[in-house]
Structure formats: C-alpha cells, structure tokens
Amino acid sequence: MRKIVKPSRKAHSGIVDNILTFNQVYRMVQSTPGILYYTSGNKTPFTILAKVTTKGRHKGKPVLVFFTNGKEKARSYECCWGHVTNCSRTYIDCYTSVIQEKEK
C-alpha cells in the first residue's frame, strides 16, 4: 500500500462542497453503523462511529470518528464539516468526500 503524505495545513483549512450536512451524516451513521468505506486517496478501508464527546473543548458535542483497523484516524465535529482539515489540522476530506459519493 502506498502512503500518501500531505502538507500541513491550518485547522479548518480549505472548503469541501459536502452534499449532506453534518447532522444528516451523523443520523445516517447512527442508523446504519459498521458500513465499510474506502478513503478517496489510497482506498484505505475505514468505518465511522457517531458519538457525543465526553471531554475537552468539544465536550457534549456530536462527533463523527473515523477508524481504520480499529484505530482512530480522525474526527469531525460540526464546526469542521465542509473543510479539508478538522480542528486538529488532520485531513478529513478523504473521508467526508467518500460518504458524499456513497449517498448520491
């Protein structure tokens, strides 16, 4: 598997034209957990968990958590939705764009 290295960006960098809102995807993931997706870059398999954050600056907020092989790779809060990177500067567009495609 080829590893893709992306340059560092600021939090909430770039714009992604998501078809579905954060809340629509959150509800979809809650109602159909365990669906296997593949990232847009190197087609790495991942799953999504919809939960509520229990600590930190987003405590009590809904979050989508992206996992590969059971390991957390990224998170998206509603404030991150529509951006290339999340609050922690992790690229999330490779996850969110695939969810959008699957729902067309």
- Is 39 in a helix, a strand, or coil? coil
Q: Is pTM, for the whole model, over 0.85? A: yes
Contact 19, 96 (CB under 8 A): no
Q: In what order do the strands lie in the sheet containing 71-77?
A: 37-38, 45-52, 62-68, 71-77
The pLDDT tens digits of the residues spanning 47-85 come to 999 999 999 999 999 999 999 999 999 999 999 999 999
Spatial CB neighbours of 83, under 8 Å, sequence gap ≥ 6: 12, 13, 14, 15, 16, 92, 93
- Answer whether residue 10 shows pLDDT above 60: yes
Q: How many alpha carbons lie under 13 Å from residue 5 in its C-beta half-sphere? A: 0
